[in-house]
């Protein structure tokens, strides 16, 4: 082989090695870039999932608070409705217990005592204290004061806000 052939062969080998090395480096760079891209995608996806989780927690908390407020309102409304019914029943029974017919009177007195006990359960402490103070020095029957106390409780229920 002549000298120019050696130069040409060396040039081809050098060019091939350079191209091979460049391809190897390019592949390594592409692998690194792909790895970084995947890590970035995972980070973004994790961030999205964390945000969704936080949003669901907030929604859940809001729904729970709304449910509890609705339940509180429903319970309070039922309590107030029961107080209204007791107020009407007790007023009617007091009138009926003064009836001249002994059978009607006896039945009304028995039922009145039961309704009276229920009425005490529906009267708030402040109203109950006012009731006991009113009946201490009164010559009128306790029934009138109890009906008035229940009426006060019913009025208080009417003015309460749902959040109370």
Give 76-120 pLDDT, tens digit per residue.
888 888 888 888 888 888 888 877 888 888 888 888 888 888 887
Cα(88)–Cα(115) distance, integer angstroms: 10
pTM of the model as a whole: 0.52
How many angstroms separate the CA atoms of 60 and 80, rounded? 30
Mean pLDDT of 152-158: 82
pLDDT at 110: 80
- Give the rounded distance of the alpha carbon of 77 from its chain centre: 18
Is residue 135 scored above 70 in pLDDT?
A: yes
């Amino acid at each position: 082989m002549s000298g120019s052939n050696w130069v040409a062969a060396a040039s081809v080998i050098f060019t091939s090695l350079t191209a091979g090395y460049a391809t190897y480096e390019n592949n390594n760079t592409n692998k690194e870039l792909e790895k970084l891209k995947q890590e970035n995608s995972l980070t973004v996806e994790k961030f999205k999932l964390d945000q969704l989780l936080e949003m669901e927690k907030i929604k859940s908390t809001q729904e729970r608070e709304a449910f509890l407020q609705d339940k509180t309102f429903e319970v309070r409304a039922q309590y107030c409705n029961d107080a209204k019914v007791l107020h009407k029943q007790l007023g009617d029974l007091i009138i009926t217990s003064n009836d001249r017919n002994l059978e009607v009177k006896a039945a009304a007195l028995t039922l009145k005592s039961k309704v009276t006990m229920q009425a005490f359960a529906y009267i708030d402490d402040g109203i109950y204290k006012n009731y006991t103070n009113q009946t201490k020095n009164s010559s009128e029957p306790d029934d009138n004061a109890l009906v008035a106390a229940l009426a006060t409780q019913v009025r208080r229920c009417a003015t309460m806000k749902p959040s109370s």
